[in-house]
Structures are given as structure tokens and as C-alpha cells.
Chain A
């Protein structure tokens, strides 16, 4: 049973460019959350998708956008990249039980370097 898969694993972009990161959730999971983790910091919540809609959003600018597809996979798009966007981007999936105890299964992450 495959866990959460993310692609690409590493990428380098220059300031002002745009990037798309992809995530396939664990089989049976219907909810995808995205986190940004800067070096030496904890993961910061970007947003969460469920039923192809953004359900929650953290304190990130509109340059960060996402999408969830009918097969539950998801994309994270970042426009107008800044140096400060350099980080490990983590995708996590879960199953919406409706009871709120959401245990997350994380992918290995996509490491973005902005030059």
C-alpha cells in the first residue's frame, strides 16, 4: 500500500518564477494538507483540501494556491517566487472521519530552492 507520494523531490527555481508541486495521498484518504517547513523550523500549515475545495488556510499570501482533483491528488502552486519561499514542502493526507482526530500521513517532501 503506497503512502503519500510527492514530486518532484528537489527543484531549483529563480526569483519571480512559478512552481507546481504534486501530491498523491495514501490510498483511502480523502483530505490533503500542505505544509511549509523552513530550515530548523516546524512545519507551517498552508492549506487543506477536501472534496476538491480549500477548507482551511493558514497565514500564507495568495501567491500560494492549490487544487484537489477528483482522485484526491493535489497540487500546490506558488507564483512570483521569493527567496524566502525556499523550504521543504510537505504534503499530508488523512481520512475525514468527521470526529476531528485527524492523524496525518506525510510524504517525504519537495525541497524547493529559490535563487
Chain B
């Protein structure tokens, strides 16, 4: 399916550490997007990486994409307590539909 599958599903780290999340998918994509959700509220777009890109940065975020392995990773550097949230990857295929996985729950301990 097009749906992203995040790994690990739960992550607990100390403030200042880096957090890495992985996402796998099964079909070809046009792009892959990462979103954050705080406490059951709306999702916030973090970053989009196109299928012809391998790496992208935005502030403390670094996203990689390996289309041969159908996988992506999201790295948050120097984590802060405010980074505590659920993170979702959404592969976007030819139907331009975002297919979210169950998400990664990240807890940053002050």
C-alpha cells in the first residue's frame, strides 16, 4: 500500500539529544512529506522531499529519501522539550493523496 509505516513507534530521549525516525513505504512516490502533531490537535507540515531528491534540511530537521529502498528518515538535532509530539510520514503517489502511517511518538525529557 502507499501508506507510510514509521519506526520506531515510540521514542524517548533527553533534551539536547538527536532523534531519528524512519519511514518505509511500498509503492512509487512523487514526494514524501513529514508532519508533526501535538496532543491530538491538527497536523503541521514540516518538510517535503521530492522523489528526485536524496536529502533536505530545514532548521534542525534533516530528511533523507532512498527510493531504491522505499524508505525515508527524519532527524531532529538538538531536541527540545517542545519537540515532544507525534511525527507522521506521508508518501504521495500518483493520486496525489497523502497516506499517513500510525506515527512516531517522540517524548523529549527536559
Contacts and interface: CB of A to CB of B under 8 A. Distances in A.
B100 A43 contact: yes
A88 B43 CA distance: 12
B45 A103 contact: yes
Given A41-B102, A42-B101, A43-B100, A90 B42 contact: yes
Interface residues on A, range: 20 to 34
Given A41-B102, A42-B88, A102 B42 contact: no
A35 B96 CA distance: 15
A105 B41 CA distance: 12
Nearest to B103: A42
Nearest to A100: B96
Contacts of A44: 100
A56 B92 CA distance: 14
Interface of B: 30-31, 33, 35, 40-45, 48, 50, 88, 92, 94-103
